[in-house]
Amino acid sequence: MAVLFLLFLLTVSVVSADEDGFIGVNIGTAISDMPSPTQVVALLKAQNIRHVRLYDADRALLLALANTGIRVTVSVPNDQILGIGQSNATAANWVARNVIAHVPATNITAIAVGSEILTTLPNAAPVLVSALKFIHSALVASNLDGQIKVSTPHSSSIILDSFPPSQAFFNRSWDPVMVPLLKFLQSTGSYFMLNAYPYYDYMQSNGVIPLDYALFRPLPPDKEAVDANTLLHYTNVFDAIVDAAYFAMSYLNFTNVPIFVTESGWPSKGDSSEPDATLENANTYNSNLIRHVLNNTGTPKHPKIAVSTYIYELYNEDLRPGAISEKNWGLFDADGMPVYTLHLTGAGTVLANDTTNQTFCVAKEGADPKMLQAALDWACGPGKVDCSYLLQGQPCYEPDNVVAHSTYAFNAYFQKMAKSPGTCDFKGHGSCIFPGSAGRNGSLPNTTSLAPSSNSTTSGCHSVYIYGAGSFTTSVIIGVLLMSVFFL
């Protein structure tokens, strides 16, 4: 009877979500040539990204986000937790300076108090819940607690014995923190923030976890992981991590706190010890993750309950210390160029391939070569376009003529500036090209597919675009030209 009652507790719970699942992005700042706040917001708007998480509360970026409608999660940096957790006044000052000063123009919807405090800054753990309560009290005093939730992101490593998920439990040494934390989240209608990285679970499994299982690739039924206690079938690591957190909360008798995944992703590059940190795997994981979340698939324990997720991260961070992979989680490089083009075909109407805004900047037919060369020199100099691909021996050197090289540079600058008006005006020698009409007027011919292909190459200048008569034939970077990364 006791076993049956335990199974009942493990399989029955009540979790609700206020809205359909969304995909957001994290914005880090460990970048040598950090884009300006205006450029960051321009990229977010161009890609229809409606949810962002900041690792601080940068004033310039919050001002740039004003009147965009983009939902923003701001963060209390770890080095401020001790001060805020020990002083109600310090917390109130932080909220006044970093939140109240910006709303309602900037749509701040959540505050993440620290990041992975229990595992990275354990000496601050005793005041973590106090910090959340003090921050929340300041919001209440300003009548903002209804629109801004307060929580704190956790590493999934605080969950022990995570498979099968029904056996998972939080590290018991953190019960004095976790129980009051969950009570706070429950009483304020907030959510449990979880950083979920199937990449690391896969890497640390010593071959036990199949790569396809980590990447959301379809598995035959006999390869699916089955929780023997609940008979729930798991087709991917992400769902198993999320359900392990749900079960761990249920062991502490909390069954109505929803989970938001505040970080998840896959690195696109690694060293010899990380052979599966590749462009293709990063593309596959993030594409499948986006589809999984936006379809409101939920998890085996909570089907149809959305697991909103922030992808780690918007930009590659070349200044981040550690392994090569640590620098290469971004969807874009710092210049706004996509690291890869996501495989989003069939992900729904919002994430369907863009057929209306595939805008490119190319050299104008008949332009004076000397003027083109001058504009090319400007783009590769003051314009800060990375023109290294145009050097002899590099992927975009051929064809070696000013038309092809200037087109590459013009379009790189145009995309870098998120297609802002005026950024394709190189003294009258550029033209914005809209695909979908006849190839003769300079747009892409109808026979050229704009859909991201799972078979596309992943580096260098590849895939030839044939422009109509009167224009030119050249090789260009798919990753540069196909700006078809879309988010809710």
Residues marked as catalytic: 116, 263
Supply 213's token pair. 């299982």
Query: Which tokens in the block code for residue 473?
Result: 């034939």
Exposure class string for 422-434: b at 16+ Cβ within 10 A, else e: ebbebeebbbbbe
Look up residue 425 and give its amino acid.
D
Query: Could you report how far apart the first and last alpha carbons of the chain are, in Å?
Result: 47
Q: 71-76 and 108-113: which strand pairing?
A: parallel
Q: Tokens for 452?
A: 């991201």
d(CA 450, CA 274): 32
Q: Is residue 321 packed enough to be buried (19+ CB in 10 Å), middle (13-18) or exposed (0-12)? A: exposed
| Spatial contact of 134 and 91, defined as CB atoms under 8 Å apart | yes
Beta bridge partners of 23: 309
H or E segment to which residue 186 belongs: helix 175-188
CB 136 within 8 A of CB 113: no
Alpha helix (H) ranges present in 276-325? 279-294
Burial class of 458 by CB neighbour count within 10 A (0 to 12, 13 to 18, 19+): middle
Sign, CA dihedral 100-105-111-115, equals: negative
Q: Identify which of 343, 281, 310 has the alpha carbon closest to the alpha carbon of residue 485.
A: 343
Q: How far apart are CA 387 and CA 112, in angstroms?
A: 39
